[in-house]
Structure 1
């Protein structure tokens, strides 16, 4: 899909508060994100993710990684079911996030005090970092990472902005897991 068409569709579905399916690609990685567009800038998009008829947390990713935007009969049906189940009342952004660049995004996310998940989905880098956002630098963030056993690393992990393909926060997985980290 051409960039101009992607931008037009993102604007339309953001304005109309539609449920969308976004195909994202970076290198040979390709993934799907579904949910409601709650914020956008020239370079970034913020969605509230959905999965299996649940309204989940927030994801932010670069618009340049979006290769296809879909809102078809399947998506309209899913959206209708969410509405009839009364779940659309849970859709909305609870935080002020400046989507200008990674630095402004991360500064605002850090203010929430919530556990974050920073990912680089590119197969050659493939990083997943969950923990407390400790520092926002000029070109990177530092996260106090905890592993799959809930044990914090002694040192912070640095993620360069240029490698981040998705930043998640107020995510059910991260919120629950972080309560048990030590």
Structure 2
């Protein structure tokens, strides 16, 4: 932004390390916020939303919840190469997080 002549820098509330998928997800995990992970680009479309449980070199595990706020019984493994979009600290995710519950 400085090179574009912007006088004021935007302050970011989180420090996300963009070096690799592993560092990105470890940074998001450190915020203690739920996130969204999706593949928008091919026949294997998916949308996962929930807590990052484990971050590995080639994939992560996320404890997904459904639109009614029910948590899955076990985490879902997501390969980094299948991800096209990631989000966190958005209104929908933060609101739904307040009402999460286990399936009975």
Common topology (TM > 0.5): yes
Q: Which residue of 1 aligns with 2:86?
A: 167
Aligned residues: 100
Partner Cα distance (2:40, 2:3) in 1: 27
Q: Which residue of 1 aligns with 2:45?
A: 126
**Structural mapping, 1:53-64, within 5 Å:** none
1:21-50 deviations in whole A, cap 9, x for unaligned?
A: xxxxxxxxxxxxxxxxx9xxxxxxxxxxxx
Q: Which residue of 2 aligns with 1:111?
A: 30
Q: Which residue of 2 aligns with 1:158?
A: 77
- Deviation at residue 104 of structure 1 after TM alignment: 0.5
Partner Cα distance (2:76, 2:2) in 1: 35
2:78 maps to 1:136: no
Runs of 4+ in 1 over 3 A off after TM superposition: 10-13
- Deviation at residue 175 of structure 1 after TM alignment: 0.3
Q: Secondary structure at the match of 1:106?
A: helix
TM-score by length of 2: 0.86
Structure richer in strand, relative to its length: 1
- Deviation at residue 123 of structure 1 after TM alignment: 3.0
TM-score by length of 1: 0.51
Q: Which residue of 2 aligns with 1:78?
A: none
- Deviation at residue 11 of structure 1 after TM alignment: 9.5
Q: Which segments of 5 or more consecutive residues in structure 2 lack a partner in the other structure? A: none
Task: Tell which structure's C-alpha radius of gyration is larger.
Answer: 1
Q: Which segments of 5 or more consecutive residues in structure 1 lack a partner in the other structure? A: 1-9, 18-37, 39-90
Q: Which has the higher contact order (CA 8 A, sep 6+)?
A: 2
Q: Which residue of 2 aligns with 1:28?
A: none
Partner Cα distance (2:39, 2:49) in 1: 12
RMSD: 2.2
Structure richer in helix, relative to its length: 1
